[in-house]
Structure 1
């Protein structure tokens, strides 16, 4: 069984024998809820490539200390995968974020597509964005990831066009596309961008705009997947053809 992971703001300069203190909600949940005890082994991650293993040397209700026994610096996975996820209705957004995190997405970008049923505005936007970020953080810990995904604020279609221009490869999932996802040549490095539309589908204008900027419209297969699962299926299909899953 792998060791539980806890997130800390920074592990810069940490070496064997150093004591690292974990504080706040992260520590409270570990000590009070999970009943972490002195002598247990844990891993700590900063979310940007450093994971340390250590032994718990002290605990309190809002903190615990870990004496580091090993330090592992992990290179960022390549190619990286960014998923532009149109806002689903209900809690399906968190479901998509959770599983995309578990399989290795580097960025999960919420997008206000034309036909998105859900709307993020004002206070709701802030709360929904925070929930996506929290979901990604917890899923990254569960998956024992060294690099945790970034969840930027809500993107507009103009923002998505900018992302397509900067990606090494951009694909748009579209049920009427003639090109199968499995036929697309993949880069060895850089960013792969996957655009996932809403429940109501992408508009013709959205697809045309994305393709005009260099994206490739692709289909996954004969089935029509829900927006919360289409991105997961696409990323899994892509990663299975890269060295990351080799």
Structure 2
């Protein structure tokens, strides 16, 4: 049976036999919602590579006291994958974040594209970013990931262009691109970035701004913005050591 997983900084550096406290929102969820009891085991991860199997030694209304049974550390896999996701409409942003997290993306960057239907400003921006980050946390636990993906602040087109210059391979998904994603080589790359446009597509001005990135197409179907990134990343990972 798969053990319940929770995020906690308490396991960072904790040795076998150490007592740790799971409190806050995670502890409340474990004790009140999951109703985990003394003697049961859970997995705690700090989101930075360390995971620990722990046995519950005590419970309270909103916390668990645990004893560390075993620990492990997972190095960050390469190539690292960044997805620049144009803001989709409705709840499709959270859907994209959820599945991108499940397939092990390292960084998700919300992008205010010129043709994005959704607009993040002021309080709406704060709420939108909080939802994306909460979704990434929950998907990290569901997928039993050792590394929590970074969900960056909302970025502009100019900021995306700067990110492109920081990676080994940068790709822009575009339905009219001459080159297919399947033709791109990732040999020797330690970092890959994928730009996913909005429902209305990437504008010519944005495409020009992303100098240094290659425009690539997937198959013959036109995918939704919330699924195109997932399809592209899956195709990329299948051709790297991360999925071999």
Match of 1:220 among 197, 218, 221: 218
Who is 1:17 aligned against? 17
Whether 1:124 and 2:124 are equivalent positions in the alignment is yes
Output aligned runs, 1:1-246, within 5 Å. 1-210=1-210, 212=211, 214-246=212-244
CA distance in 2, matches of 1:17, 1:137: 27
SS at match of 2:141: helix
What is the TM-score normalised by the length of structure 1?
Answer: 0.97
Unaligned runs of at least 5 residues, structure 2: none
**Aligned-partner Cα distance in 1 for 2:230–2:218:** 11
| Aligned CA distance change for structure 1 residues 188 and 140 (closer, same or farther; 3 Å) | farther
Query: Secondary structure at the residue paired with 2:99?
Result: helix
Q: Distance in 1 between matches of 2:224 and 2:13?
A: 44
5+ long unaligned stretches in structure 1: none
Distance 1:193 1:10, change over 3 A: farther
Q: What SS does the aligned partner of 2:185 have?
A: coil
Deviation track 1:41-66 (CA, whole Å, cap 9, x = no partner) reads 11100000000011111010111011
- The Cα shift of 1:4 comes to 1.2
Task: Kindly provide the CA deviation profile for residues 162-215 of structure 1, in whole angstroms up to 9, marking residues without a partner as x.
Answer: 1000011000000000100011010444210000000000001111221x2x10
| Distance (whole Å) between structure 1 residues aligned to residue 80 and residue 4 of structure 2 | 25
- Aligned residues of 2:10 and 2:20 also touching (Cα < 8 A): no
Off by >3 Å, runs of 4+ in structure 1: none
Please give the per-residue CA displacement for 1:75-120, whole angstroms capped at 9, x wherever unaligned.
0011110000000000000000000000010001100001001000
CA contact (8 A) 1:57 1:65 kept: yes
Deviations 1:21-59 (A, max 9, x none): 010111111111111111111110000000001111101
SS in structure 1 at match of 2:134? helix
Q: How many pairs were matched up?
A: 244
In the alignment, the residues of structure 2 paired with residue 188 and residue 63 of structure 1 have an alpha-carbon distance, to the nearest angstrom, of: 45
Please list the CA deviations of residues 130-158 of structure 1 after superposition, one character each: whole Å capped at 9, or x if unmatched: 00000000000000000110001100001
Matches of 1:218 and 1:170 in 2, distance apart? 10
TM-align CA RMSD: 0.9
Q: In structure 1, how many angstroms separate the alpha carbons of the residues matched to 2:188 and 2:213?
A: 18
Q: Is the 8 Å Cα contact of residues 10 and 22 (structure 2) preserved in structure 1? A: no
